Amino acid sequence: MIARRALLIFLTASITAPALAEIPSVPRDHGARTRQIVPFKSNEQTGTIFISNADRTLHVWLGNGKAVRYSISVGREGFVWTGVTYVGRKAKWPEWRPPAEMRQRISRHQVDRAERVPGMVTVEEPVALAEALQAQGGAEIISMDSALVYRGMDIGTAKPSRAELAQVPHHLIDTHEPTHSYSAAEFAKDAARLIAEVRARGKTPLLVGGTMLYFKALTEGLDDMPPSDPQVRAELQQRAQAEGWPALHAQLQRVDPLTAQRLAPQDSQRIGRALEVWTLTGRPLSAFHQASATRAPAWHIPVLSLEPQDRAWLHARIAQRFEAMMAQGLVHEVRTLRARGDLHPELPSMRCVGYRQAWQGLDEGWSEAAMAERGIFATRQLAKRQLTWLRSLPDRQMVAADASDALAQTVQAALQALHGPKTQSAPR
């Protein structure tokens, strides 16, 4: 029996922790109101900016009774800031983080809400949830994202900032070079070790992410599949270049129809791995997956799942998130990775959504708009697969990600899960 358990928080592809904190839900089209010249009165200097939270407008004072008006999104009630300040510089897509005093105010606001609504606490992201557990010994975040392990891949993965990483201990972030094919088996081994270490420090492990195979490997176990063999993989890659991946998919259909049935003919990564396992062992990959259920570890991790109920809301968030990454320099990041000379598009790291589309776009001369369009579509597909997989988990605690009080519900559900009936710990 243990006094503290791990908690898993699933986030769909569009609502990663940084996205929740940094990309507000802004209407996609303001129509003619987006930018207008309107009558305005002021005694301030020309160029002064006026923001009205009540009207959701921003005015730039032009003088002579005129101003440029923009429709804007503003902070939610309780976080409205008023006063006068001086803008010292201009920058394209500047990075901004809340100062320490603002974070303190957020914390005080959380306490106030908890007093007004018993059992309810508001948070902005998993970092804030970890901070909410400080009174109970604290928490540490274990990333369950297959892309966050790779160094040099920051923008396209929405990787937490240095400030966020310093606030609360994080694990499995920036642990491997993108040349490494980090596997589900590696994650299960690393996560089990980290969970035990965090518990030994008297803290709560918070697993955060959306790589479903990683969760399956951790909770159900994996059979002893052979490690990747560079020679076999190179041979399969050469065949794919000569014959095409549909031809290799047809071969997989003959030797492992169960695996082939769930894979698209162009899914090179998974087709290649399935044929690699068959070549090395003479056993189909599906046989390993079927046997893994009998090797499941003797533990249970409560699952908290943020799932949007409105598909239009989800699609808007996906578009906002991807467009923000493009503006932050995703294409430049991919160019930098390509310039290393030791990466190629068939690596798992470079097949991540966003990186795959940008790499292909640079190869084929796409515009950044075309890269974004394909990246948004791929992210939608990923989110759909995630939601389908999540709905197969009958014991998950679901929170509507698009609800107005989603964050408050998340914390309440997390605290309830952590204070529920105790379960058996993982084997030592």
Residues 17-70 have pLDDT tens digits of 443 333 333 344 444 456 888 999 888 888 898 888 777 888 999 989 999 998
Are residues 382 and 353 in contact, defined by beta-carbon separation less than 8 angstroms? yes
Q: Dump the DSSP string for 154-169.
A: -TTTTPPPHHHHHHS-
Considering the domain architecture, whether residues 67 and 196 belong to the same structural domain is answered as no
> In this structure, is residue 80 part of a structural domain?
no
Output the domain CATH number for residue 174. Answer: 3.40.50.300
Considering the domain architecture, whether residues 187 and 253 belong to the same structural domain is answered as no
Question: Collapsing DSSP states into helix, strand and coil, what is residue 71?
Answer: strand
Considering the domain architecture, whether residues 283 and 387 belong to the same structural domain is answered as no
Considering the domain architecture, whether residues 325 and 278 belong to the same structural domain is answered as no
Please report which residue ranges of 293-419 form alpha helices under DSSP H. Answer: 311-328, 330-339, 355-364, 368-390, 406-418
Edge-to-edge strand ranges of the sheet holding 57-63: 35-39, 66-71, 57-63, 49-52
Considering the domain architecture, whether residues 113 and 210 belong to the same structural domain is answered as yes
Locate 265 and state its tokens: 């003919």
> In this structure, is residue 1 part of a structural domain?
no
Considering the domain architecture, whether residues 14 and 156 belong to the same structural domain is answered as yes
Considering the domain architecture, whether residues 206 and 241 belong to the same structural domain is answered as no
User: Residues for the chain: how many in total?
Assistant: 428
Locate 132 and state its tokens: 């909410």
Identify the pLDDT of residue 11. Answer: 65
Identify the pLDDT of residue 12. Answer: 62
> In this structure, is residue 110 part of a structural domain?
yes
Considering the domain architecture, whether residues 345 and 394 belong to the same structural domain is answered as yes
> In this structure, is residue 424 part of a structural domain?
no
Q: Which of 15, 23, 27, 73 is nearest to 323 (CA)?
A: 23
Q: What is the pLDDT of residues 349-384, one digit of tens each?
A: 999 999 999 999 999 999 999 999 999 999 999 999
Identify the pLDDT of residue 380. Answer: 93
Domain span at residue 236 reads 230-295
Locate 286 and state its tokens: 């599906």
- pLDDT tens, per residue, the chain with 428 residues: 333 456 777 666 655 444 333 333 334 444 445 688 899 988 888 889 888 877 788 899 998 999 999 888 766 555 556 667 666 666 655 555 555 555 455 444 443 333 322 222 223 457 667 776 666 678 899 999 999 999 999 999 989 888 888 888 999 999 999 999 898 889 999 999 999 999 899 888 989 888 888 888 888 776 667 777 888 888 998 898 899 999 999 999 999 999 999 888 888 888 988 999 889 888 888 887 665 544 545 456 788 888 888 889 899 999 999 999 999 999 999 999 999 999 999 899 999 999 999 999 999 999 999 999 999 999 999 999 888 888 888 788 888 888 888 777 887 887 777 765 444 444 44
Identify the pLDDT of residue 95. Answer: 52
CA distance 255 to 253: 6
Locate 428 and state its tokens: 């030592």
> In this structure, is residue 84 part of a structural domain?
no
What is the number of structural domains in the chain?
3
Identify the pLDDT of residue 350. Answer: 95
Identify the pLDDT of residue 264. Answer: 84
> In this structure, is residue 360 part of a structural domain?
yes
Considering the domain architecture, whether residues 115 and 207 belong to the same structural domain is answered as yes
Are residues 345 and 360 in contact, defined by beta-carbon separation less than 8 angstroms? yes
Say if pTM beats, i.e. exceeds, 0.85: no
Identify the pLDDT of residue 19. Answer: 39
> In this structure, is residue 17 part of a structural domain?
yes
> In this structure, is residue 54 part of a structural domain?
yes
Are residues 303 and 398 in contact, defined by beta-carbon separation less than 8 angstroms? no
Q: How far is CA 23 from the centre of its chain?
A: 13
